[in-house]
Structure 1
Amino acid sequence: MTNIALRASGVCASLSKAPILHGIDASFGKGRWASIVGPNGAGKSTLLKVLAGLLPCTGSVELLGRPLASFPGRQRAQTLAWLGQGEASADDLTVWDVAMLGRLPHRAWLAAPTAADQAAVEQALRSTQAWDWRERALGQLSGGERQRVLLARGLAVQAPVLLMDEPLANLDPPHQTDWLLLVRALVARGHTVVSVLHEVSIALQADDMLVLAQGRVRHAGLCADPATHHALEQVFDQRITIQRVSHQWIALPKI
């Protein structure tokens, strides 16, 4: 238990009364990056929301060895940061103000940002290469630029556990590479990252992988494990093949 950051046990969840997750058992290690992968409708985003405490479920979710429900709201927000899919922020807010929202769990109600808050936001904006836009309104940015600002908001929390749902949306290949390197740096510092990804080749760069299909776990294991590759090929109906290229595992369309 001391090496587990997040654990789901027997988790079931529904959306609009339709069952989505069916008895999910999964654990995510401290200081590791885990990717959640599967076909459309597998329940990936639903599971991530359950892990974040954003959706009700049966079964149990534990964060750092404690029931997630036992965390007071502020403490949970300090411990677990969330970057959701297609999140919206007011277009008239500046980039600086959006990133500063990540510091709210660390501040008293209506308190002004401290020097530590400002330093955390600057570090987050610089790490996502959004620092030069800090005075621009969010509405003036492209989709990819907005995504980098929202990532900076999540990083500004400085939480030990970070959950990200489709964080590569609208990012071009160079910035996808930047995101991968950023995640690797976070993990090297002891953070835990769990990401839902459609980009299977990038998901394969993680330490661990959870493969879902039809709301059930089909496989959990190391990304470099041949059993993981076999499970991936199966859930995608043998339409992809996992190959090793330049010391990396990648997914190629099977033509």
Structure 2
Amino acid sequence: MTTTLRKTGAVALKADAVHASMGSGPSKTAVLHGLSLEIAAGQWTSIVGPNGAGKSTLLKTLAGVLPHTGTVSLWDAPLASVPLRERARQMAWLGQNETSADDLTVWDVAMLGRLPHQAWLAPASAADEAAVEQALRATQAWDWRCRALGQLSGGERQRVLLARALAVQAQVLLMDEPLANLDPPHQADWLAVVEALVEQGNTVVSVLHEIGMALHADRVVVMAQGRLLHHGASGDAETHRALIDVFDQRISIHSIEGQWVALPKNK
């Protein structure tokens, strides 16, 4: 895994003819249908689409946490060939409805993000502690570091779980609905964190329902029914048309004070 692949134009993640299903036996349902996609390194890519489009399934497949056919590659290496420990160092994951033991302190939850860097049963190093402090401060959870996770609100927990993912200090960060339970000011804080990560050369992939927030990304992937409908720059007119179409003309996209926003439309 060479960091030279992080240069502009490199591909961090690639899906090639990927099929994935949910469930098993008679209830098994195909979700992704031969989907192919390249995720540019050093950029933020948001995946959007209506409910049931397969967004979360795609993200789980890219993360290697869901069985699939076809090939998923990380830095040009088939994901299946990358040792799990190395994969965990290279790629951090924040899923929907993530849980952790309620009796763990916020500090201990965030420290879980350092496990890929630690020897078995080894104590935390100075580098581990510095990474956790940086992550907790970035998510404004530092003041709760001694509190139990079970004492926090939903939004506070989400910020701690984000800190756990940030503490990995991975080159690639995948997040599924990371804005769940976050109020608007902390959504803005999340946006600042993502923009800082990308500025540092990292790659971010997010599944978002908030179209206006997704339009802050460098690239937008539009999905429907387990297929890729469009992949383009967030400011491109074709990307906006694809978004409007996939949501059945129920939104409109405008530029307000230099930012793209999506507004709902009545039937």
TM-score by length of 2: 0.95
Mapped partners of 2:68, 2:84: distance in 1? 18
Q: How do residues 200-215 of structure 1 correspond to structure 2 at under 5 angstroms? A: 200-215=211-226
Q: Is the counterpart of residue 199 in structure 1 residue 210 in structure 2?
A: yes
Mapped partners of 1:122, 1:177: distance in 2? 21
Cα offset for 1:249?
A: 0.7
For 2:62, the equivalent position in structure 1 comes to 51
Q: Is the counterpart of residue 21 in structure 1 residue 32 in structure 2?
A: yes
Gaps of 5+ in 1: none
Query: Could you report, residue by residue, the CA deviation over 1:24-58 in whole angstroms, capped at 9, with x for unpaired residues?
Result: 11111111000000000000000000000000111
Q: How do residues 75-114 of structure 1 correspond to structure 2 at under 5 angstroms? A: 75-114=86-125
Mapped partners of 2:84, 2:123: distance in 1? 20
Q: Is the counterpart of residue 253 in structure 1 residue 260 in structure 2?
A: no
Mapped partners of 1:24, 1:33: distance in 2? 20
Q: Is the counterpart of residue 4 in structure 1 residue 11 in structure 2?
A: yes
Query: Could you report, residue by residue, the CA deviation over 1:196-244 in whole angstroms, capped at 9, with x for unpaired residues?
Result: 0000000000000100000000100000000000000001010001111
Q: Which amino acid aligns with 1:131?
A: W
TM-score by length of 1: 0.99
Mapped partners of 1:59, 1:211: distance in 2? 20
For 1:170, the equivalent position in structure 2 comes to 181
Cα offset for 1:143?
A: 0.3
Of 156, 159, 167, 1:156 maps to 167
Mapped partners of 1:47, 1:83: distance in 2? 14
Mapped partners of 1:18, 1:65: distance in 2? 29
Cα offset for 1:79?
A: 0.3
Query: Could you report, residue by residue, the CA deviation over 1:49-83 in whole angstroms, capped at 9, with x for unpaired residues?
Result: 00000001111000011110111110000000000
Mapped partners of 1:165, 1:205: distance in 2? 16
Number of aligned pairs? Answer: 255
Gaps of 5+ in 2: none
Q: Which amino acid aligns with 2:19?
A: C
